[in-house]
Amino acid sequence: MSGNDAAFERALRIIPGGVSSPVRAFGSVGGSPVFIARAAGPYSYDVDGREYVDLVGSWGPALLGHAHPEVVAAVQAAAARGLSFGAPTVAEAELAEAISARVPLAQKVRLVSTGTEACMTAVRLARGATGRDLLVKFAGCYHGHSDALLAAAGSGLATGGLPGSAGVTAAATAQTLVVPYNDADAIRALFAERGGEIAAVITEPAAANMGIVPPEPGFNALLWELTAAHGALLIYDEVLTGFRVSASGWWGLEGGVEPDLFTFGKVVGGGMPLAALGGRAGLMDMLAPLGPVYQAGTLSGNPLATAAGIATLRLADAGVYERVDSASAQLSTEVSAAFTRAGVPHRLQRAGSLFSVFIGLESPVRDYATALRQDTGAFRAFFHAMLDAGVALPPSAYEAWFLSAAHDQHALDQVVSALPVAAAAAASALSSS
């Protein structure tokens, strides 16, 4: 038995499904998850010593590649000074300033530990500030696993085939209204009917948890216009896109919209558990201890996590974004070409440097209902052929391929050379519908 199989058997005996987060379990692609022993730059290594070109990137955080020496050194230095104090540190203000410098609408910032907490808190703050109950989200957008936001929530749930989640009461989601993404008529109609009751619209300004589904031109501006006109708040969930698609996230890349609140995570923690929410000072000051909206966390603003975040943002300069953009442009073009040569109908979609492929679909995918029609069986065959060739893709057809500034030409060439065989595997697995 391989070390990997032994690791999985051991984990299965003591951890539900053997994993600490469900998509890692390979549920939608089959087979055993790869147990990682270490990672460096664009590569990860499993417990048997096998090397993979890693396109999981910790599901987003690894913008600089794995174990960047300067980030590791910053974390080691912080660790030597103490792991957690339960008291404020100067580093928290430094990281909050770095966030605000990139996204000036985040005049004040609160640090938390996960994207889930950031979104949950943003929603509570919006409800507290407006005195209204209703929350609007879009089908296929994921905002973490808090109860109110687990309605039609995209990748992890689509992957698991779960309709929502057991244990979330009808009451918890009754005040969450779900609208199709990119559906201007539906959101207009909803505001016309119930605008005065809506506390906030929360959106992924470029959707990346149902595969990549970019906003149609004017869609985010419409959300801003409607929320502003009806006294509701607009929450940009940039946990995935923030500090990844540009130095100032999707907000800076697209421009023209002024959301009330932002949530950040993934890249902002540089691989450590750290996330944040930010917005206008007057709004953010409604959080405890200044205001009536409660939020807290024993490990919030943890010194190791803030050190990793500060180092990551400091290193993520224009050159980093150029490298990620050009790696993404090159690889996405090669992926599409390989599928075309193998006769696999597909739709490749991009949002900045993020991209994903919908196998079996050819016209634009603009919402979740369409994304669900992709051929996940063909993706499964493609995924395993890539893995056999030493390329680790996210184990879900609903995820972006995560590139980093460490993916150099050699690593990209390794991925490209694996494509023909994998695309052929997808071709033979295409469901004949």
Q: Whose Cβ is closer to ligand PLP: residue 404's or residue 414's?
A: 404
Q: Whose Cβ is closer to ligand PLP: residue 271's or residue 360's?
A: 271
Is 108 an annotated catalytic residue? Answer: no
- Residue, CB closest to ligand PLP: 115
Instruction: Please report whether residue 244 would count as binding ligand PLP according to CB under 6 A.
Output: no
The single-letter DSSP state of residue 199 is E
Radius of gyration from C-alpha coordinates of the chain: 21
Strand order from edge to edge, sheet including 198-203: 108-112, 275-279, 261-264, 233-238, 198-203, 134-138, 176-179
Q: Nearest-CA neighbor of 200 among 230, 163, 171, 240?
A: 230
The DSSP element (H or E) to which 345 belongs, if any, is: none
Binding window for ligand PLP (CB under 6 A); candidates: 98-106, 236-244, 277-285, 409-417: 236-244
With CB under 6 A as the contact rule, the residue among 187, 261, 275, 342 that binds ligand PLP is: 275
Instruction: Please report whether residue 395 would count as binding ligand PLP according to CB under 6 A.
Output: no
Matching residue, tokens 């992924």: 204
With CB under 6 A as the contact rule, the residue among 71, 95, 103, 119 that binds ligand PLP is: 119
Is 142 an annotated catalytic residue? Answer: yes
For residues 243 and 251, the answer to whether their CB atoms sit within 8 Å is no
Instruction: Please report whether residue 112 would count as binding ligand PLP according to CB under 6 A.
Output: no
Tokens of 119: 């979104």
Q: How far apart are CA 238 and CA 235, in angstroms?
A: 9
Q: How far apart are CA 242 and CA 263, in angstroms?
A: 8
Matching residue, tokens 């075309």: 340
Q: How far is the CB of 273 from ligand PLP (least distance, A)?
A: 8
Residue type at 313 in one-letter notation: L
Name beta bridge partners: 238: 264
Instruction: Please report whether residue 116 would count as binding ligand PLP according to CB under 6 A.
Output: yes
Q: Whose Cβ is closer to ligand PLP: residue 42's or residue 61's?
A: 61
Is 237 an annotated catalytic residue? Answer: yes
Which residues within the stretch 249-268 sit at the binding site for ligand PLP (CB under 6 A)?
A: 265
Instruction: Please report whether residue 142 would count as binding ligand PLP according to CB under 6 A.
Output: yes
Q: Whose Cβ is closer to ligand PLP: residue 237's or residue 254's?
A: 237
User: Site size for ligand PLP, by CB under 6 A?
Assistant: 14
Q: How far is the CB of 23 from ligand PLP (least distance, A)?
A: 10
Residues at the interface with ligand PLP (CB under 6 A): 114-116, 119, 142-144, 204, 209, 237, 239-240, 265, 275
